[in-house]
Amino acid sequence: MNRKITSMDVAAKAGVSQSAVSRVFTPGSSVSEKMARKVRDAAEELGYRPNVLARSLITGSSRIIGLVVAYLDNPFYADALQKLSEALDQEGYHLLVFMAGNTQGDVDHVIESLMDYQVDGIITASINLSGELAERCARAGIPVVCFNRSVIGEGLSAISSANRAGGAKIAAFLAAGGHQRCAHISGWQGSSTGRERAEGFAEGLSEAGLEVHAQIDGMFDRDTAMNAAQTLMQMSEPPDAIFVGNDHMAMAVMDHLRFVMGLSVPNAVSVVGYDDVPMAAWPSYDLTTLRQPARRMVDATVQEILTRITTPDAPVRRIEIDGPLLVRGSARLPKEAP
């Protein structure tokens, strides 16, 4: 209702100039102890706080980071969002959230809006960025960091887990468990994440003298993954192990195998996931999976975006973070060495 309190109001009340007030609220400025106290008192009394928007108009820094994300029903991303927000808060930045499907027009539109807000940086999660768009951001001087998804072409930093190595680890584990027919319900093959895990899995199997028994794209979608599981198990030679491209789908697959098809996991078929979302540890699933260390990925993402903001021509980095295989009960174990 009543007008906004401005630095001028505080200046008047404290009997000083507006610049003085500004300086008191700008860390690193030269102000005397006495002045600082006078101003702080007046500000306190009036309930003054600097206007971030007006400030950013001058400094050119809005302290807003745009986050573009496709799914939030996958708890891995919900968790990442929470951790990102907390980590950035620590540094005085905050997240402006945009949901985007993975269609090109959608993403384009979102990035445009994002730039309208003069964001200091952009983090994309589970999003494919066109090279052209990346180019525009670069020209506008806005750093972009891809979380858990890399992008075609150069110019963007990307943080992901070591997907290829992870896929290979899983392959080795299944092979050691004596599985003969290892199938893969992959993550969306239009994503680097989905492709790399599949490639790593194939390489790992071939290293063990096996090959991928069958592979179907699960599109990161529960229903699609369930259908894939159905198809796989109806093959003339059904698999004895299925590596599913992420936990979200893996749990759907387990549900389908157990409750629709009446198959025992892991006795009839082993299931392994990827991500280690919290639910994977719940006893109903007890899912063997490869952990993506969300905490470390988030920390790396935050650090990367901050350096790119403060040092615009820092080199673009691609960081892969290694994660351990968490052996639980959804896949047959390797035999102990005798």
Partner DNA sequence: GGTCAGACTGCATAGGTATGCAACCGGAAT
Partner DNA sequence: ATTCCGGTTGCATACCTATGCAGTCTGACC
Candidate residues 41, 44, 45, 51; the one interacting with DNA per rule CB under 7 A? 51
- In angstroms, the CA 15 to CA 91 distance is 33
d(CA 211, CA 209): 7
Q: Which CB atom, from 71 or from 173, has the smaller least distance to a copy of itself?
A: 71
28-36, 49-57, 207-215, 294-302 -> range binding a copy of itself (CB under 8 A): 49-57
Residue 284 binds DNA, judged by CB under 7 A? no
Name every residue whose Cβ is closer than 8 Å to that of residue 157 and which is 6 or more positions away in sequence.
143, 144, 145, 146, 304, 305, 308, 316, 317, 318, 319
Rg (CA), the chain: 25
Number of neighbours of residue 186 by Cβ within 10 angstroms: 29
Q: Is 278 in the site for a copy of itself (CB under 8 A)?
A: yes
Q: Look up residue 29 and give its amino acid.
A: S
Q: Which is nearer to DNA, 115 or 333 (CB)?
A: 115
Which of 97, 152, 176, 235 touches a copy of itself by CB under 8 A? 97
CA 232 to the chain's CA centroid = 30
Closer to DNA at the Cβ: 22 or 161?
A: 22
How far is Cα 242 from Cα 256, in angstroms, rounded to an integer?
A: 13
**Using rule CB under 8 A, residue 318 touches a copy of itself:** no
Residue number with CB closer to DNA (7 or 292): 7
In the list DNA, a copy of itself, none, the entry touching 190 (Cβ below 5 to 8 angstroms by class) is none
* Residue 63 binds to DNA (criterion: CB under 7 A): no
> Binding of DNA at residue 17 (CB under 7 A)?
yes
Smallest distance, Å, CB 174 to DNA?
A: 57
Quick one: what does residue 283 bind among DNA, a copy of itself, none, with the CB cut-off 5 to 8 Å set by partner type? a copy of itself
> Biggest alpha carbon distance in the chain?
88
Beta bridge partners of 181: none
Stated as kind and residue range, the H or E segment containing 98 is strand 94-99
Is 6 a binding residue for DNA by CB under 7 A? The answer is yes
User: Computed from CA positions of residues 163, 169, 170, 175, in that sequence, does the dihedral angle turn out positive or negative?
Assistant: positive
Could you tell me which stretch among 12-20, 228-236, 252-260, 265-273 binds DNA (CB under 7 A)? 12-20
**DSSP bridge pairs for 65:** 95, 121
Burial of 93 (C-beta count, 10 Å sphere; 0-12/13-18/19+): buried
- In the complex, which residues of this chain contact DNA (CB under 7 A)? 3-4, 6-8, 16-20, 22-23, 25-26, 29-35, 48, 50-51, 54-55, 57-59
- In the complex, which residues of this chain contact a copy of itself (CB under 8 A)? 1-2, 4, 47, 49-54, 56-57, 62, 64, 72-73, 75, 78-79, 81-82, 85-86, 89, 94-99, 112-113, 115-118, 136, 139-141, 251-252, 254-255, 258-260, 278-279, 282-285, 312
